[in-house]
Amino acid sequence: MKTLDLVFLWHMHQPDYRDHGAASRVGAGDTAAGEFVLPWVYLHAMKDYADMAAHLERHPQIRCVVNFVPVLLDQIEDYVQQFASGEFRDPLLRMLGTRDLEHISEADRHLLLATCFRSNHVTMLAPFPRYQRLHDLYLLAAHEHPAASRYFSGAYFSDLVTWYHLAWTGESERRRNPLLATLMSQGEGYDADDRQRLLTSIGELITGLIPRWRALAARGQVELSTTPQTHPLSPLMLDFRAARESLPEAPLPFNAAYPGGRSRVIAQIEAARSSHARRFGAPPVGMWPAEGAVSEDFVKHLAAAGCRWIASGEGVLRNSLTASRMTDPAAAYHPWQLEKAPGLTLYFRDERLSDLIGFDYAKWHGRDAAQHLVNQLEAILDAAGENATPVVSIILDGENAWEHYPYNGYYFFDDLYGLLAEHPRIRSTTYGDLMTRARPPAAVLPHLTAGSWVYGTLSTWIGDEAKNRGWDLLCEAKQSCDRVLASGRLDAAQIAAVEAQLAICESSDWFWWFGDYNPSAAVASFDSLYRRNLERLYRLLQLQPPSQLDTPICAGSATAESGSMRRATVS
């Protein structure tokens, strides 16, 4: 009987939301460096990273790959330390734990009103009438008078910050934790003790999160993989001209190349493998490159570092086959090896199936969506050759799609994992497991065209005015960095701080957000944080930051913080 190997790769990533600069005034008091500017790490931890673990715990027959970016794990561990100490550097958690919300500052009142309605209102606000009423009151007050919100009572703010955190809890946790059911049933009138109990519960959940995933890996259900340390767009760090392999006319930054990009890519890879080994006991077998972005040069570095598998987007494979004048109707359904990177196996994402989960199935009934996906997999298997065992890779973000599903995708996953566990011809597995099996040799790819899982190109991170300016600012900072480090005037601790800050500035996320396809408030927030990170890099180098960092990169962007989150995969 023919069988199909199915690999889910759930990619868990959030950029570094901490302002690592000097102490800044937030709310009623001065806060230490490392203040969290946005709360998405802990909110996704309590809703999505916990739910995704719980789905697997309920369905032990299902196996998958889960990719944790080190910079995300760094921040989760930071939150664990905050809960342990009770000293919160996330202003929203501080507000949840503040006993007297009647006499908070105007800045804190604004923070709560600006933050506590950020979510998918269809699935995370409208289902809760008391929470919806808080929103209606806010809209009424804002309509009547822009400053009317200052007259909201402490009781309003107590209910608001409580409901926001209840709305961001995962469905599995709501079913497991009686405190959440009690608070949601109560509906209103939350006092300081209620909020403290909720805060304690959130702390317990986040503190137990990494150990839960470690346990799933230890029993062989999950293969944990990683991404270079702070999620850099490595092909561009190695060579800006890589963007022109898929888009020959792409405009490039003023600087010809990222200075010292090769050593930085190697350092990012090594840091990730070391971080993974420290947390999970051994280096990862494979890696998901940031944004699935690859080039021949980058893949050779991954192979040299000991990576045995990587995955990327189907668009990259199509472009590579076209450039190599090859045709293969089942190209995405078997592994590949790159001629110039022996020892490394490449897998490619099924764009259609992955995007059905990321964008379409949220509108379906959970059982219908699950059955439809299984039917698609059966069709792939039926179309395969008699002796073929197709490998189907479904790869997408493991956090951002689920808020668009009813009940955070609980019923979709319950039905999907249940159907797959009982299916006689479909086996969920991992890339690491596939590499231990006796299989036909991987097909050889003579050439790899540089690109990513978005359109098969690198256009989401380079090629327009704002993105290119972001790269030029980073190049100039890196040139200053190289000069100061070569001077020998910094000691070992100072050099380590510089290198850590540089890695943050190299994240791909900054360039992703520079674009008019994103909400202007979100663009402004990331624009500001990116420039603050560059400013801090200059200060660590004991240099005066250039005045151009005072000017937004994206002209006309608002100054408000992000009001929406990045969806699963852009297609």
CATH superfamily of this structure's domain 1-571: Glycoside hydrolase 38, N terminal domain (3.20.110.10)
H/E stretch holding 19 reads: strand 18-19
User: In the structure, what pLDDT confidence band is assigned to residue 569 with cuts at 50, 70 and 90?
Assistant: very low
Please provide the DSSP assignment of 127-146 as one string: T-HHHHHHHHHHHHHHHH-T
Name the β-bridge partners of 68. 12
Rg (CA), the chain: 24
pTM assigned to the model: 0.94
12, pLDDT greater than 90: yes
User: Domain spans of the chain?
Assistant: 1-571
- E-strand stretches of 377-432: 391-397, 426-428
Looking at residue 150, its pLDDT comes to 77
The string of pLDDT tens digits covering residues 53-101 is: 999 999 999 999 999 999 999 999 999 999 999 999 999 999 999 999 9
CA nearest to 453, candidates 254, 310, 559, 255: 310
CA nearest to 93, candidates 82, 101, 103: 82
Looking at residue 151, its pLDDT comes to 83
Looking at residue 471, its pLDDT comes to 98
CA 425 to mean position of chain CA atoms: 32
pLDDT, average across residues 503-508? 98
pLDDT, average across residues 7-34? 71
Percentage of the residues of the chain whose pLDDT score is greater than 90: 88
CA pair distance 311, 112, nearest whole angstrom: 40
270, pLDDT greater than 80: yes
Looking at residue 556, its pLDDT comes to 59
CA pair distance 38, 40, nearest whole angstrom: 6
H/E stretch holding 465 reads: helix 465-487
Neighbouring residues of 113: CB distance < 8 A, sequence distance ≥ 6: 138, 149, 152, 160
The string of pLDDT tens digits covering residues 226-251 is: 999 999 999 999 999 999 999 999 99
CA pair distance 9, 223, nearest whole angstrom: 9
The string of pLDDT tens digits covering residues 365-391 is: 999 999 999 999 999 999 998 889 999
25, pLDDT greater than 50: no
Please provide the DSSP assignment of 277-303 as one string: HHHHSS--SEE--GGG-B-HHHHHHHH
24, pLDDT greater than 60: no
pLDDT, average across residues 305-319? 97
Neighbouring residues of 492: CB distance < 8 A, sequence distance ≥ 6: none
pLDDT, average across residues 402-428? 98
Residues 272, 498 contacting (CB under 8 angstroms): no
Q: What are phi and psi of 387, to 5 degrees?
A: -100, 10
571, pLDDT greater than 50: no
CA pair distance 416, 423, nearest whole angstrom: 11
pLDDT, average across residues 496-521? 92
Looking at residue 441, its pLDDT comes to 85
CA pair distance 541, 458, nearest whole angstrom: 31
Helix (H, G, I), strand (E, B) or coil at 395: strand
Pick the more confident residue, 1 or 508.
Answer: 508
Residues 359, 568 contacting (CB under 8 angstroms): yes
Q: What are phi and psi of 525, to 5 degrees?
A: -65, -45
Looking at residue 560, its pLDDT comes to 35
pLDDT, average across residues 317-329? 95
Q: What are phi and psi of 265, to 5 degrees?
A: -65, -45
Helix (H, G, I), strand (E, B) or coil at 6: strand
Amino acid at 152: F
30, pLDDT greater than 70: no
The string of pLDDT tens digits covering residues 458-499 is: 999 999 999 999 999 999 999 999 999 999 999 999 999 999
User: In the structure, what pLDDT confidence band is assigned to residue 33 with cuts at 50, 70 and 90?
Assistant: low
pLDDT, average across residues 182-189? 98
Alpha helices in 281-365 (DSSP H): 296-304, 314-323, 351-355
